[in-house]
Amino acid sequence: MNKLYLGGAIFTILMLAFTYVSVGGSEGGLNGDIVNMLAIAGAVALVLISVFVVIKYVRQMQTDTADGELADESWDNIGEYKNPVPMGWAIMFLGTMIWGMWYFVIGYPVNAYSQIGEYNEDTAAHNEKFNTQYESITGDRLVEMGESVFLAECKVCHGLSADGIEGKAANLKVRLEAKVVKHVVENGSNNHLLGSEMPMPDRNGLFNNNTGALITDAEIDAVSQFVANGMNGAGAEVFAGACASCHGEDGKGMEYVAPNVAEFTPVLVVNVLNHGKKGAIGTMPAFDRLNAKQKEAVGAYISSLSK
Amino acid sequence: MFHWLEKHPFFFAVGVFVSIAFAGLIEIVPNFAQASRPVIGTAPYSTLELAGRHVYIKNSCNACHSQLIRPFKSETDRYGHYSLSGEYAYDRPFLWGSKRTGPDLMRVGNYRTTDWHENHMKEPQSVVPGSIMPAYTWMFKNTADINTAYAEQLTVAQFFAVPYNKEVPMKDGSTKIVKMGESVADANALALEEAKAIAADMKDQDVKDAVANGQIPEIVALIAYMNSLK
Asked whether the beta carbons of A237 and A243 are under 8 A apart, the reply is: no
Q: What is the pLDDT of residue A252?
A: 86
Of A119, A159, A284, the CB nearest to B71: A119
Residue A116 to residue B129, Cβ atoms within 8 A: no
Q: A100 or A48: which carries more pLDDT confidence? A: A100
CA angle B22, B27, B28 (to 5 degrees): 100
Start-to-end Cα distance in chain A = 103
User: Could you tell me if A156 lies within 8 Å of chain B, comparing CB atoms?
Assistant: yes
Mean pLDDT for the stretch of residues A197-223: 84
Which residues lie closer than 8 Å to A285 by C-beta, 6 or more apart?
A: A276, B110, B111, B112, B113
Average pLDDT, rounded, for chain A: 86
Mean pLDDT for the stretch of residues B78-96: 91
pTM of the model: 0.74
For an interface test with B, the pick among A72, A153, A156 (most B C-beta atoms closer than 10 Å) comes out as A156
Report how far residue A176's alpha carbon sits from residue B17's, in angstroms, rounded to the nearest whole number. 73
Start-to-end Cα distance in chain B = 58
User: Could you tell me if B129 lies within 8 Å of chain A, comparing CB atoms?
Assistant: yes
Asked whether the beta carbons of B75 and B43 are under 8 A apart, the reply is: no
- Could you tell me which of A152, A189, A158 has the C-alpha nearest to residue A171? A158
Q: What is the pLDDT of residue A153?
A: 87
Instruction: State yes or no: ipTM above 0.90.
Output: no
Report how far residue A122's alpha carbon sits from residue A127's, in angstroms, rounded to the nearest whole number. 9
**Per-residue pLDDT band at A29 (split at 50, 70, 90):** low
Mapped onto helix, strand or coil, the DSSP state of residue B217 is strand
- If you measure CA to CA, which chain A residue comes closest to B227? A285
Mean pLDDT for the stretch of residues A141-169: 88
- Could you tell me which of A277, A259, A276, A271 has the C-alpha nearest to residue A295? A271
Report how far residue A196's alpha carbon sits from residue A271's, in angstroms, rounded to the nearest whole number. 9
DSSP element (H, E) containing A207: strand A207-208
- Phi then psi for residue B106, to 5 deg, are -50, -40
Asked whether the beta carbons of A94 and A102 are under 8 A apart, the reply is: no
Residue A282 to residue B115, Cβ atoms within 8 A: yes
**Which amino acid would we find at residue A225?**
Q
Which residues lie closer than 8 Å to B58 by C-beta, 6 or more apart?
A: none
The per-residue DSSP string of A272-294 comes to HHHH-EE-SS-EE---TTS-HHH
Mean pLDDT for the stretch of residues B64-80: 91
Query: Which range has the top average pLDDT, A264-268, B107-111, B201-205, B216-220?
Result: B216-220
Query: Is there a cis peptide before residue B93, judged by omega within 30 degrees of 0?
Result: yes
Asked whether the beta carbons of A293 and A127 are under 8 A apart, the reply is: no
Of B110, B127, B129, the CB nearest to A168: B127
Q: What is the pLDDT of residue A22?
A: 76
Contact list in B for residue A153 (CB cut-off 8 A) is: 111
With a cut of 80, say whether residue A1 has pLDDT above it. Answer: no
Report how far residue A293's alpha carbon sits from residue B117's, in angstroms, rounded to the nearest whole number. 29
Range with the lowest mean pLDDT among A16-25, A115-124, A272-281?
A16-25
Interval B110-137: pLDDT, tens: 889 898 999 999 999 988 888 999 999 9
C-alpha A265: how far from chain center: 30
Find out if CATH 1.10.760.10 is the number for domain B47-228.
yes
Which residues lie closer than 8 Å to A5 by C-beta, 6 or more apart?
A: A55
With a cut of 90, say whether residue A280 has pLDDT above it. Answer: no
Mapped onto helix, strand or coil, the DSSP state of residue A51 is helix
Residue B112 to residue A284, Cβ atoms within 8 A: no
Mapped onto helix, strand or coil, the DSSP state of residue B84 is coil
Residue A248: CB atoms within 10 A of its CB come to: 17
| Chain A contacts in chain B segment 79-108 (CB below 8 A) | 80, 82
Residue B129 to residue A122, Cβ atoms within 8 A: no
Residue A283 to residue B113, Cβ atoms within 8 A: yes
- If you measure CA to CA, which chain A residue comes closest to B200? A282
With a cut of 90, say whether residue A36 has pLDDT above it. Answer: no
Residue B126 to residue A165, Cβ atoms within 8 A: yes
- Could you tell me which of B200, B197, B195, B194 has the C-alpha nearest to residue B219? B195
Residues in chain B, how many? 230
Asked whether the beta carbons of A30 and A40 are under 8 A apart, the reply is: yes
Dihedral, B106, B110, B114, B117 alpha carbons, nearest 10: -50
Report how far residue A225's alpha carbon sits from residue A182's, in angstroms, rounded to the nearest whole number. 9
Report how far residue B105's alpha carbon sits from residue B52's, in angstroms, rounded to the nearest whole number. 14
Query: Which range has the top average pLDDT, A32-41, A169-178, B4-13, B147-156?
Result: B147-156
For an interface test with B, the pick among A126, A129, A168, A187 (most B C-beta atoms closer than 10 Å) comes out as A168
DSSP B230: -
User: Could you tell me if B23 lies within 8 Å of chain A, comparing CB atoms?
Assistant: no
Q: What is the 3-state secondary structure (H, E, C) of chain B?
A: CHHHHHHCHHHHHHHHHHHHHHHHHHHHHHHHHHHCCCCCCCCCCCHHHHHHHHHHHHCCHHHCCCCCCCCCHHHHHHHCCCCCHHHHCCCCCCCCCCCCCCCCCCCHHHCCCHHHHHHHHHCHHHHCCCCCCCCCHHHHCCECCHHHHHHHHHHHHHHCCCCCCCEEECCCCCEEECCCCCCHHHHHHHHHHHHHHHHHCCCCHHHHHHHHCCCCEHHHHHHHHHHHCC
Parse chain A into domains and list their residue ranges.
Answer: 2-63, 137-305
Parse chain B into domains and list their residue ranges.
Answer: 2-35, 47-228
User: Could you tell me if A113 lies within 8 Å of chain B, comparing CB atoms?
Assistant: no
Interval A49-88: pLDDT, tens: 988 898 888 888 888 887 788 888 888 888 888 888 899 9
Interval A93-120: pLDDT, tens: 999 999 999 999 988 888 888 889 999 9
**Per-residue pLDDT band at A28 (split at 50, 70, 90):** low
Average pLDDT, rounded, for chain B: 92
